[in-house]
Structure 1
Amino acid sequence: MNKYFSNKLSIFVFAFPALALFTLFVVYPIFPQISISLQEHDGFSSKGFVGLANYFNVFKSSSFWLANKNTLIIVAMSVLITLPFSLILALLMDIQTVKIRRFFKATSVFPAVLSVTVIAQMWIAIYEPQWGLLNSLLSTLGLENLTQEWLSNRGTAIICIAIAFLWQYIGLNTLLFYTGIKSIPKTYYEAALLDGAGFIKSSIYITIPLLQDVVKYVLVISTLGSMAQFAHVRIMTAGGPGDMTRTVIYQMYYSAFSKSDFGEGSAIAVIFIIQCLIITFFINRYVAKERIEF
């Protein structure tokens, strides 16, 4: 088997179908977007070449920078809160009985396969200021002063949307971490147990270090998924009030389809692609770096 994988022609033959599909459906569509971003375009026809004017307009727009801030908030909550919590849940799941593990494995992925519309509507009902679950719970606990219009408040709206989005996929992240944990040889834990290491020490010194590749994968898909947030925003607030809860993708949608300015929308799309590439580069560069084996 090694002689095939050490042969460059064999590598090319095996990689070509995937590479061709990736080029056709991912790489190629980027070039028309770059072309449109350099034009004044209404979605149907070009009104002329404008060079980098669309990019200058995007960078001068306060709405674009607010959208970047909102996107960064969602990414930060995903990386700093959701991922560690998912990892802890996976670690706890691994030490449960078989029946409990089966139950959590069956239910953890359930929110992720539900329609985004269903999830968004459920959280809209939770945040509803008059009869919603959250305000009702606060009132029951005697915390009426904390009740508010969660999706209309500038300080809470984007956080509430982020919670709804991250809640939907926390179970999927947990399942990915759990799968990685089960791939670790049990002999490591048996040796640690003989040395007197308990659950916490085994998790810190064995499980987490050996999960680096899984952590890297989950970090990439969670970060890029958070950056591409659109559906929850569209359904829960439609980017409002005003431009308060727009993300970068929503700002791109707004520019292209609400303002009929496909040149500006394409410019935002190109900027977004560059942002994703930069983030992916740094994750690949500094998280779970591959070791060269001789």
Structure 2
Amino acid sequence: MNKYFSTKTSIAVFAAPALLLFTVFCVYPLLPQLWMSLHNHNGFQSLGFVGLDNYLSVMKTSSFWVSHKNTYLIVAISVLIGLPLSMVFALFIDVQTPRLRRFFKSAAMFPAILSVIVVSQIWVAFYEPNWGLFNAILRSIGLDGLTRSWLTNEKTVMISIGLTFLWQYIGLNAILLYTGIKTIPKNYYEAALIDGANAFQVSTRITIPLLQDVMKYVLILSSLGSMAFYAHVRVMTAGGPGDLSRTVIYQMYYTAFDTSQFGKGTAIAVIFILQCLVISFLIQRFVAREKVEF
């Protein structure tokens, strides 16, 4: 039986349905967009074949590179700050009593289930320069010089939006990691406690190493989710001031729908898809390459 299922033919037969669905729903819809990106298109009809001119044109604009810088800043915030905090939160939830554990799990999921519009409007109020929460706190402790117009200052706007995104989804990642923690057999922890390991040693030498597969999934989810960052920017700043808070997805939307240059907009979309594929490949290739088995 094992010999039969290990043949290339049997593998191809079982993989064919999934491959067919992937081709129909993921690959095929990209082909018209790829074709559109090679034309001067107004959204209704092609005005002529331009080849790679759309790609060269969008890459010559400063907004294209500003949007990429902003997008990768959000990815960095999500991965380098968000994931470690999510892990700490997941470990914190795991050591609580059942009653407190239920409370913290509900609290962690609450921001993620809220509408992006609601979350963004709440944080816009927090950042309001005259009566917003953050400036009010700074004034109350005598740090008036640190008050800012957070969403109109070019030095703080992207970090401010990034913190909003981080707050909304850090709990969701923590719950995913906590779920992974609960799948680790308890005998590993019992053996560690018998050997005299403390909580830090248990976390760094047992829990985190055995969470490699879950951490890879959360890393991909966080990275690609951050790459597709759009709604918070749309609600909080509309890409402003100027174009300083645009992300790649926002720049694609602006180019296609606000300026009716659908050829250039789809060119940005194709570049974005290629970047996502590269990031996904790199994570799959270099993160947790060996499967953990209990």
Q: TM-score range by the shorter chain?
A: over 0.9
- Give the CA deviation at 1:223: 0.3
Equivalent position of 1:130 in the other structure: 130
How do 1:73-84 residues align onto structure 2 when only pairs under 5 Å count? Answer: 73-84=73-84
Question: 1:211-268: per-residue Cα shift (whole Å, max 9, x none)?
Answer: 0001100000100000100000000000011101000000000100011000100100
Following the alignment from structure 1 to structure 2, what is the Cα–Cα distance between the partners of residues 185 and 11? 32
Question: 1:20-49: per-residue Cα shift (whole Å, max 9, x none)?
Answer: 332222111111111011000000000000
Q: State the AA in 2 paired with 1:93.
A: I
SS in 2 for 1:109: helix
Following the alignment from structure 2 to structure 1, what is the Cα–Cα distance between the partners of residues 245 and 292? 44
Following the alignment from structure 1 to structure 2, what is the Cα–Cα distance between the partners of residues 56 and 197? 58
Percent identity of paired positions between Structure 1 and Structure 2: 63
- Residue 88 (str. 1) matches residue 88 (str. 2): yes
How do 1:163-242 residues align onto structure 2 when only pairs under 5 Å count? Answer: 163-242=163-242
SS in 2 for 1:155: coil
- Residue 63 (str. 1) matches residue 80 (str. 2): no
Equivalent position of 1:32 in the other structure: 32
- Give the CA deviation at 1:157: 0.3
Q: State the AA in 2 paired with 1:217.
A: Y
- Residue 121 (str. 1) matches residue 116 (str. 2): no
How do 1:263-282 residues align onto structure 2 when only pairs under 5 Å count? Answer: 263-282=263-282
Following the alignment from structure 1 to structure 2, what is the Cα–Cα distance between the partners of residues 172 and 4? 41
- Give the CA deviation at 1:18: 3.4
Question: 1:112-168: per-residue Cα shift (whole Å, max 9, x none)?
Answer: 111111001000010011111111111111111111110000000011111111111
**Comparing 87-96 with 15-24, which one deviates more in the overlay?**
15-24
Following the alignment from structure 2 to structure 1, what is the Cα–Cα distance between the partners of residues 210 and 94? 15
Q: Report the TM-score, using the length of structure 2 for normalisation.
A: 0.95
Change (3 A) 1:2 1:180: farther
Q: Report the TM-score, using the length of structure 1 for normalisation.
A: 0.95
* Counterpart contact for 2:213–2:292, Cα < 8 Å: no
Following the alignment from structure 1 to structure 2, what is the Cα–Cα distance between the partners of residues 292 and 159? 36
SS in 2 for 1:229: coil
Following the alignment from structure 1 to structure 2, what is the Cα–Cα distance between the partners of residues 139 and 168? 26
Question: 1:154-186: per-residue Cα shift (whole Å, max 9, x none)?
Answer: 000011111111111111000000000000011
SS in 2 for 1:207: helix
- Residue 53 (str. 1) matches residue 53 (str. 2): yes
SS in 2 for 1:48: strand
Following the alignment from structure 2 to structure 1, what is the Cα–Cα distance between the partners of residues 132 and 193? 49
- Give the CA deviation at 1:6: 3.4
Change (3 A) 1:113 1:18: farther
Q: State the AA in 2 paired with 1:83.
A: L
Q: State the AA in 2 paired with 1:205.
A: R
Following the alignment from structure 1 to structure 2, what is the Cα–Cα distance between the partners of residues 16 and 108? 39
- Residue 161 (str. 1) matches residue 161 (str. 2): yes
Following the alignment from structure 1 to structure 2, what is the Cα–Cα distance between the partners of residues 179 and 25? 30
- Give the CA deviation at 1:292: 11
- Give the CA deviation at 1:58: 1.2
* Counterpart contact for 2:77–2:162, Cα < 8 Å: yes
- Give the CA deviation at 1:16: 3.9
- Give the CA deviation at 1:59: 1.1
- Give the CA deviation at 1:17: 3.9
Change (3 A) 1:7 1:90: same
RMSD: 1.7
